[in-house]
Amino acid sequence: MPFRHVAIIGLGLLGGSIGLAVQQHLPGVRTSGFDLDPATRARARERGLAALVPETAAEAVAGADLVIFCVPVGAMSAAAASVAGALAPDALVSDVGSSKQTVVRELTQALPGIDVIPAHPVAGTEHSGPDAGFAALFRKRWCIITPPAEASIAKLDSLSRFWEAIGATVEIMTPEHHDLVLAVTSHLPHLIAYTIVGTASDLEEVTRSEVIKYSAGGFRDFTRIAASDPTMWRDVFLSNRDAVLEMLQRFTEDLTELQKAIRKGDGEMLFDQFTRTRAIRRSIIAEGQDDARPDFGRGDHQSDG
Ligand SMILES: NC(=O)C1=CN([C@@H]2O[C@H](COP(=O)(O)OP(=O)(O)OC[C@H]3O[C@@H](n4cnc5c(N)ncnc54)[C@H](O)[C@@H]3O)[C@@H](O)[C@H]2O)C=CC1
Ligand SMILES: O=C(O)C(=O)Cc1ccc(O)cc1
């Protein structure tokens, strides 16, 4: 393993999972971590999310050759500023943020002279905080690395090997392309889930208890997504604004087409559309890209296995 000491800033779902995964898969690598919230630091020590959880970010990054920011994308700048003077000059800085263009810009600006190579493990749950992390989170999941044009090939290779060692499969993309792809595959679906759950709970003629009682498959799946962390998702939408607005525009147009078909009684149009989307689901399953997590979509327990 090219890294001897990994420091994790932010010890919630992502940071905690990285800490546990490194300790499980790379026992020779030192781990340290810091979180702004004292209660999270205390819980991180109890759960052993990192071997060392000191009281300051500067102490956590001292001597680390890989520093990973695992904070909401709107907090990346402040988190980077909090370690600016304390990083080893040859440390590699990375992150796990769900959007990449603003993050790469903000980390690079906050840390002049330091190598920054952002990443996004496309792996998560609707849970957050220091109790949510588990070592197997990244197993068989994609990790998209978005190196700036000037990134060192050797450091990019080291970061790829790190993610592979904790179970992920690495893909390289530009930050621009990443933000477009994730806008449609992740950000828009979350926005739709937040909307539909809000719409259902605002109805006057249908009571909230009826919504809960009769929430068969479809609605229930949306409520899982809509339970995701409000701070994290507020930041994702504000940071990936342009790509999300572009995808939302296309989605709105397609929704209007379906609305027209229903009004006109155009069953053929509806049937063709649903046949096309069923084929997409089937190809996801055939490629083994359905979710490997044992509790996906069903319970709210996590495992450390
Ligand atoms: N939740 C998910 O499923 C996924 C999240 N991500 C990304 O990972 C990042 C972290 O998300 P989660 O772990 O889910 O969030 P989380 O809410 O579980 O953890 C974030 C932690 O960062 C801490 N924090 C905030 N500002 C800080 C600062 N300046 N210094 C130190 N700690 C600070 C918070 O106290 C919190 O404990 C986000 O950027 C998110 O977009 C990426 C993939 C999946
Ligand atoms: O829980 C789910 O279904 C997710 O979609 C998790 C997730 C959330 C944010 C990401 O950037 C990547 C994965």
Q: Outline where DSSP puts E strands in the chain.
A: 5-9, 30-34, 66-69, 92-95, 115-116, 119-121, 142-145, 169-172
Q: What pLDDT sits at residue 290?
A: 64
Residues of the chain with pLDDT under 70: 217, 289-305
Q: Given the CA of residue 232, which atom of ligand 2 is nearest to it?
A: 9
Gap from CA of 47 to ligand 1 centroid (Å): 17
Gap from CA of 121 to ligand 2 centroid (Å): 9
Maximal C-alpha separation, the chain: 67
Gap from CA of 304 to ligand 2 centroid (Å): 18
User: Is 144 a pocket residue for ligand 1 (Cβ < 6 Å)?
Assistant: no
Q: What is the pLDDT of residues 128-143, one digit of tens each?
A: 999 999 999 999 999 9
Q: Given the CA of residue 236, which atom of ligand 2 is nearest to it?
A: 11
Three-state DSSP class for residue 95: strand
Q: What pLDDT sits at residue 286?
A: 85
User: Is 125 a pocket residue for ligand 2 (Cβ < 6 Å)?
Assistant: yes
Q: What residue ranges define each of the domains in the chain, with the CATH number in brackets?
A: 5-173 (3.40.50.720), 177-286 (1.10.3660.10)
Kindly report the number of other CB atoms within 10 A of residue 301's CB atom.
9
Q: Is the ipTM of this complex over 0.90?
A: yes
CA distance 249 to 291: 28
Q: Characterize the bridge pairing of strands 142-145 and 119-121.
A: antiparallel
Q: What is the pLDDT of residues 216-269, one digit of tens each?
A: 768 888 999 999 999 999 999 999 999 999 999 999 999 999 999 999 999 999
Gap from CA of 106 to ligand 2 centroid (Å): 22
Gap from CA of 237 to ligand 1 centroid (Å): 15
The percent of residues in the chain predicted with pLDDT above 70, rounded, is 94
Comparing CA positions, the residue from 282, 9, 15 lying closest to residue 138 is 15
User: Is 99 a pocket residue for ligand 2 (Cβ < 6 Å)?
Assistant: no
* pTM given for the model: 0.93
Mutation probe of ligand 1 site: the residue of 101, 232, 239, 296 with most atoms within 8 A of C-beta: 232
